[in-house]
């Protein structure tokens, strides 16, 4: 029999699957298990700044830095730390359940810590372009305690390229956002306070004879 924590996560993942099926995105306040969220928060706060690097735009050979578009700092989560492994295990459980309920064929997961310093932002963009990438679902988890309206840093999800209003998400501690990578343009508004999060992507397998995906 599943313990209560697993039951809560299973119910959460079912709610996310229903939202994705009905509207393409899911916003779940205080969704990450409290203990895990606090351990992730503590870990990212004590990490050596040198482990963070300037985030780029694009992947592989097309990756480049453009601070006019984004200026956050990132550190990839590779399971080196105990809490990193715990996070990846929780995401793997989510992946399996979303595959069962939505038949998405999700093959792998990648994620990184993100630090938006005062003045940092990420202009409107898509995480994947239709038919050109293998990111299927994007995920964001917020690790900010006592976030205030004046702190800025909101995520704005737009329904499509014509949408100028969007759905605004406050980066409150433990909030989880999942959305279809190819469908929703989004941006991060200017942060007026140090802002910490995890960004991640569930991917399908697009390996071929000359290329292994995901790349190592």
CA distance 201 to 181: 8
Task: Take residue 19 and report the two structure tokens written for it.
Answer: 């939202």
- Given this model, what pLDDT does residue 57 score? 56
For 202, how many CA atoms within 13 A lie in the half-sphere containing its CB? 24
- What is the three-state SS of the chain? CCCHHHHHHHHHHHHHHHHHHHHCEEEECCCCCHHHHHHHHHHHHHCCHHHCEECCECCHHHCECCCCCECCEEEECCCCCHHHHHHHHHHHHHHHHHHHHHCCCCCEEEEEEEEECCCCCEEEECCCCCCCCCEEEEEEEECCCCCCHHHECCEEECCCCCCCCCEEECCCCCCEEEEECCCCCEEECCECCCEEEEEEEEECCCCECCECCCCC
* Domains of the chain: total: 1
- Given this model, what pLDDT does residue 206 score? 66
- Given this model, what pLDDT does residue 58 score? 53
Per-residue pLDDT of the chain (216 residues; tens, 9 = 90+): 345 667 889 999 999 999 999 999 999 999 999 999 999 999 999 998 888 988 755 554 344 566 788 989 999 999 899 999 999 999 999 999 999 999 999 999 999 999 999 999 999 999 986 665 689 999 999 999 999 999 999 999 999 999 999 999 999 999 999 999 999 999 999 999 999 999 999 999 865 434 433 432
Task: Take residue 148 and report the two structure tokens written for it.
Answer: 């205030």
Strand partners of residue 22: none
Residues 6+ apart with CB under 8 A from 79: 85, 88
CA distance 43 to 105: 31
CATH of the domain at 66: 2.60.120.620
The residue segments making up the domain with residue 112 are: 4-203
- Given this model, what pLDDT does residue 121 score? 96
**Threshold 0.75, pTM exceeds:** yes
On whether residue 78 sits in a domain, the answer given is yes
Q: Are 57 and 65 in contact (CB under 8 A)?
A: yes
Which of 76, 163, 171 is closest to 124 using CA atoms? Answer: 163
- Given this model, what pLDDT does residue 132 score? 57
- Given this model, what pLDDT does residue 187 score? 98
């Amino acid at each position: 029999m599943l313990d209560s924590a697993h039951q809560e996560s299973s119910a959460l993942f079912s709610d996310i699957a229903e939202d994705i099926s009905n509207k393409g995105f899911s916003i779940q306040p205080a969704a990450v298990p409290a203990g895990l969220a606090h351990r992730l928060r503590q870990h990212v706060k004590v990490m050596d700044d040198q482990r963070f690097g300037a985030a780029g735009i694009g992947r592989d050979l097309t990756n480049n830095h453009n601070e006019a578009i984004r200026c956050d700092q990132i550190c990839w989560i590779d399971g080196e730390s105990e809490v990193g492994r715990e996070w990846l295990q929780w995401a793997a459980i989510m992946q399996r359940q979303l595959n069962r309920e939505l038949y998405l064929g999700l093959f792998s997961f990648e994620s990184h810590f993100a630090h938006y310093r005062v003045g940092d932002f990420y202009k409107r963009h898509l995480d994947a372009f239709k038919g050109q990438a293998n990111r299927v679902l994007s995920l964001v988890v917020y690790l900010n305690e006592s976030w205030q309206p004046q702190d800025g840093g909101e995520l704005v999800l737009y329904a499509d390229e014509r949408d100028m209003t969007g759905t605004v998400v406050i980066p409150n501690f433990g909030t989880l956002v999942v959305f279809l990578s190819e469908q929703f343009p989004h941006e991060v508004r200017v942060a007026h306070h140090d802002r910490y999060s995890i960004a991640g992507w569930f991917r399908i397998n697009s390996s071929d004879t000359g290329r292994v995906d995901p790349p190592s």
